[in-house]
Structure 1
């Protein structure tokens, strides 16, 4: 891998983390002294992706804006890595008129046709729509691919298995990505899933399956590159499972009493680990690290300022964009 690619992966991971840390700050800013999930300038649930940056950065580095992504209820890392506007993303999170969905969808329902991005709060819901996108790409003669992302807990849903079967049957250009962060909300994989790795399930549907360990962004990049190339060449779908890490709670406000790994989770943060390796190989130094951090902070703070300056939707327009 070229040094420039390594640097791009690091830069993307830092941008995602900076965004998530800033949203964390903003989300909690006005929910005290009494915790109220419905209060504040960002009301409602919030699922942040800190620790899972290597999956999004590694996968999306192989994609173009013509490729499609369907993501999960924890979508910010994939949205950013696929090129979504930080300003419109932030505005949607704040529920403002200039957001992607005019503030109607919130952070679990991000839709951006310009980069073929969508997500949903429903478990495994993104897999069937990804098949529809891939089928459209194939019918139109495009070499675009669809990437369908879900968590390891959702791999036990019927939509997951039905989608794998149909994609293999029709040889659709799909890359299925499972983010294994060890906890399906509060349930460990060991008590919910009959196989050690969901990648093993690929064989049942006649497609390649690969598990990437250690949350390693370069390994994700390489595996996703093989899967995307296979899909573009008409060879059909691939299933990738990445053993990643959820640094924070399932949602903000999650006490995480179920986590047996809570004492050591911070030690497995993938960004300092990758930074250390890049420093050792001469790709990074203090000045570059400082510049990347400053650029990410400036971009994210500008996006938050944009969101806060965007108008709140007029209550009289509540029925707009609603179909019956």
Structure 2
């Protein structure tokens, strides 16, 4: 999925210096962003209060939207570099196309994982015949320097491992949780898990104290470590936790995101993750002159033009602002 802001602002993030080294309860409010013709997303990362959670560097939550009489998601071909995209649905379906030739419909609780590496382009759209509701999250994972120039590729995993407890089913998207390991490719120690809670559930989820964590609320009413989280909000939890108390007032859906704090500083601008302003500028130029990111075949429409680069130099802002 693309960052469609027409005035994209670069930000320097990463580095361990801004990691909260002990458990905290920091509630993050979303920024509302229009995506395509009929989809509005709630952007939780990067946030004015926090820019990364482990290697997770971008989180959009959207829906549930009634798209019965709408085209639904329509994101034209656009580029990525230096990151992985994670597509996760609770309702609906999204048709993915990319410049490596991948063509895949991603459905609820299936993992669509695209590793951009040095360069890729893709499109995402609701199929012409689609379900009434669309509800999901789009997330990015920053690639470390040693792996960010790898060959681009796409993975689809419909069968994912689960961790269960009374009132809880945790589906592991990426990384490992309580011994369950996702088949998705990762490049840094991290975890992503979908948490389905039934009404009245009161459980404790085991965590790695070396990871920093956040929880994205997808649906329902739940308390995370005693804090009520509403759908479309995210609770940052810091590091140093060995378990996480969860309690559901109704059936609820959450996403647990975590990982070792990302050591490298990086620059995010539009749909690129790099290490310098010069690198980002070159990527923009390459996309505009069609020399590097390949072609998405089969999408009915034009590719997405890049916004103009800002006229001022990048200002280091770290993991938090």
Q: TM-score, normalised by structure 1?
A: 0.30
Greater relative CO, 1 or 2 (CA 8 Å, sep 6+): 2
Higher percent of residues as strand: 2
**Which has the higher Rg, Structure 1 or Structure 2?**
1
Q: TM-score, normalised by structure 2?
A: 0.31
